[in-house]
Amino acid sequence: MIEIEDGVASISLPKPPYTVESLRMGALLLSGRAEAFLDEKRGAFRVELKPAVPMTELELRALAGEFLNECLSCLYRQELIKSAPEVPQALLAQVLEKGFPALPPDPLEQLEPQVRVDRETETEELLKAARKLLP
Amino acid sequence: MSRLTEIDKPPKPALKSVGPHQFRRIGKFVLACDDSGRFAFLSQAEYLGYLKGLKRGTALRDKLAIAGLMSDSFDFDEAARFAAEKSLLSWPGPSTHLLKLGAAGRAMSLATAKRAVDFAFSAPARDVGLELIPERLESEWGLVWFIVQYARRQGEWRKKAVSLTVRVEAALPARMKEFLDGHRVDLRAVVEIAGPPSVAVPGARRVLARVNAPAEAASGWIDALSEAGVESILLEPSGSAKDFLAFYAAALDRMLQLQGRRDMREERGLGFLSGRRWLLPGHDVLSELCYAPDGSIYSGELAASLDEEARDLLKLGELGSRRFDDLAKGPAVRAVLAASLSENQPMCSQCVYRPFCAVAPSENLRSQGTLWGRHPSSERCALHMALLDILFSRLARTESAEALRQWLS
Ligand code: SF4
């Protein structure tokens, strides 16, 4: 399934089970080390891996193996996520949905503008004194 | 070969009574654990009997029912309460904010330091932990001086409990020590555990120890550090994994022996046992955020130290332009949280330690080039599994179990 020619590894992969998403994850793993080119034909993908620096055939095969490993890991993970208990996914969705609510502004500062002014003045003085301690 | 363990010729489980669980053989025990982290230790014969189906009224059945492992006498309320406490819904947000005061000779500006403190205080957690990581303390002292006082005032203004820590590698000049003591700032000493025991930073209550020493050296080091007042230690390997694990086991045993006289806890072990993944040291976003000298916000300290390309993947924004409530909208936070859910990891989903463990995505990225990691070949997963074996083997022994439980109280 892996062909090596002119310093490039070409891999043919059947469409199910491989998905564009799994190939993307594989390509991400190689970022910086190789460029990945994708061609899609009916029923199959063809991926070409071009290393950033020339590689021996053995190194290139290892690189392609790493790419395939990551694609398979991604496919397995997707299967698992589909069949995983829904509760953890739902909790994560809820946490992300809720976002990370920040603390609302201090009501004392809102009600009493002088409090904010005093605090800003105090902070400014601290900053001024700290500047003197820096080289 | 898988690191997960097997049982010879297990009987077909009596599904009417056997609750959903994972198991692991640890020494002569079998650890059985449910999805939310309730567990029991059984002998191999007891475990096989459990699988076959236990008669009502037996002591073993009662013990397993309390641990939530019997499906026909399941306490749903208790299970729901237990699961909710450990789930992301109880997560208070990142509790440790790490400020790198300098990197590669470039120091943080005072304006950036102020923004970092403001950002940490805009988080909803009731407690704010700031850890300052100087590169060259002497020239960055003005930053420490400002952050400590400003954070203390912010704590008073916003009515939050603030814990302040400065990471140090050597003893401090008296004027600095006096200032930090006066402002209730803890020291976290970075210690190389290699030669004979020594206490390089007097007064440090926390230690980050990089271990490259044999097991025989462990007791001496723990004694020396605890006598010097160290209460909390994070042990990290810096030599061979095998030596580290032997050292860890011996150090843990010594800490448990000293418990009650000079208490010292190991931070990763404590994080595992709590079953709350946001207490695992160094876990991206869940337990920490890290601010670089240039004002970049990273998912954690390790993320901030990766090479540029990897770092960019885990950069969450810039202080000043990113607000805390925008964080969850960014793709990096979403990816980190999804990758932290061990339910989504093929190997973790079959591992008995899943409720206690998670490998930080930045660690996966560093060691395997992918946020998700490939756990069957991950050295971190292997390390976690071995550490959890050590901890759970101590939990199986009555004498050490009590001391370990006190860690959590
Ligand atoms: S990472 Fe932790 S939970 Fe996952 S397989 Fe490894 S030891 Fe088990």
Q: Of the ranges A72-76, A110-114, B195-199, which one carries the lowest mean pLDDT score?
A: A72-76
pLDDT (mean) for A2-9:
90
CA dist., res. B116 & res. B9, Å (int): 58
CA dist., res. A122 & res. B49, Å (int): 70
Instruction: Find the residue in B nearest to A70 (Cα).
Output: B374
User: Do B162 and B196 meet the contact criterion of CB atoms below 8 Å apart?
Assistant: no
What pLDDT, on the 0 to 100 scale, is given for residue B252?
97
- Shared domain check, B194 and B51: no
What pLDDT, on the 0 to 100 scale, is given for residue A94?
72
Residues 6+ apart with CB under 8 A from B222: B251, B254, B255, B258, B264
- State the Cα torsion B274-B81-B402-B230 to the nearest 10°: 30
CA dist., res. B199 & res. B296, Å (int): 34
What pLDDT, on the 0 to 100 scale, is given for residue B357?
94
pTM, rounded to two decimals: 0.85
- Shared domain check, B204 and B249: yes
Question: What total number of domains does chain B contain?
Answer: 2
Question: What are the CA-CA distances from residue A22 to residues A17, A114, A125, B361 (Å)?
Answer: 9, 58, 55, 18
- Shared domain check, A10 and A50: yes
Instruction: Find the residue in B nearest to A104 (Cα).
Output: B122
**Does the pLDDT value for residue B17 go beyond 80?**
yes
Q: Binning pLDDT at 50, 70 and 90, where does residue A85 land? A: low
pLDDT digits (tens, 9 = 90+) for B285-324: 999 999 999 999 999 999 999 999 889 999 999 999 888 8
- The DSSP bridge partners found for residue B298 are B290, B315
Q: Of the ranges B156-160, B202-206, B321-325, which one carries the lowest mean pLDDT score?
A: B321-325
Give the mutation target among B384, B388, B392 for probing the ligand 1 site: most ligand atoms within 8 A of CB. B384
DSSP per-residue letters across B208-254: EEEE-S-GGGHHHHHHHHHHTT--EEEEEESS-HHHHHHHHHHHHHH
- Shared domain check, B189 and B73: no
Q: Binning pLDDT at 50, 70 and 90, where does residue A89 land? A: low
Q: Is B352 helix (H, G, I), strand (E, B) or coil?
A: coil
B342 lines ligand 1 (CB under 6 A): yes
Give the mutation target among B343, B345, B352 for probing the ligand 1 site: most ligand atoms within 8 A of CB. B345
Nearest CA to ligand 1 atom 4: B348
CA contacts within 13 A on the Cβ side of B218? 20
- Shared domain check, B152 and B39: no
**Shortest distance, CA B20 to any CA of chain A (angstroms):** 12
What pLDDT, on the 0 to 100 scale, is given for residue B1?
42
Higher pLDDT, B401 or A31: B401
Q: Between A96, A102, A132, which is nearest B337 by CB?
A: A96
Single out the residue in A83, A101, A116 at which a domain terminates: A83
- Shared domain check, A108 and A52: no
Q: Which residues of A are less than 8 Å from B143 in CB distance? A: 130, 134
CA dist., res. A75 & res. B396, Å (int): 38
Q: Binning pLDDT at 50, 70 and 90, where does residue A44 land? A: confident
Give the nearest ligand 1 atom to B359 CA. Answer: 1
Q: Binning pLDDT at 50, 70 and 90, where does residue A86 land? A: low
- Shared domain check, A48 and A74: yes
Q: Which domain holds residue A58?
A: 2-83
Question: Is the CB of B122 less than 8 angstroms away from the CB of A103?
Answer: yes
Q: Which domain holds residue B60?
A: 22-86
**Shortest distance, CA A103 to any CA of chain B (angstroms):** 5
- Shared domain check, A78 and A27: yes
What pLDDT, on the 0 to 100 scale, is given for residue B344?
73
Q: Does A110 touch chain B (CB under 8 A)?
A: no
CA dist., res. B169 & res. A113, Å (int): 44
B384 lines ligand 1 (CB under 6 A): yes
CATH value at residue B182:
3.20.20.70
What pLDDT, on the 0 to 100 scale, is given for residue A112?
87
Q: Does A32 touch chain B (CB under 8 A)?
A: yes
Between B331-340 and B361-368, two packed helices, what is the crossing angle to 10 degrees? Answer: 90
pLDDT (mean) for A24-41:
87
**Shortest distance, CA A14 to any CA of chain B (angstroms):** 23
- Shared domain check, B152 and B287: yes
- Shared domain check, B180 and B314: yes
Single out the residue in B65, B86, B107 at which a domain terminates: B86
- Shared domain check, B208 and B76: no
pLDDT digits (tens, 9 = 90+) for B336-351: 988 888 777 778 888 9
B387 lines ligand 1 (CB under 6 A): no
Q: Which residues of A are less than 8 Å from B124 in CB distance? A: 100-103
pLDDT (mean) for A72-89:
70
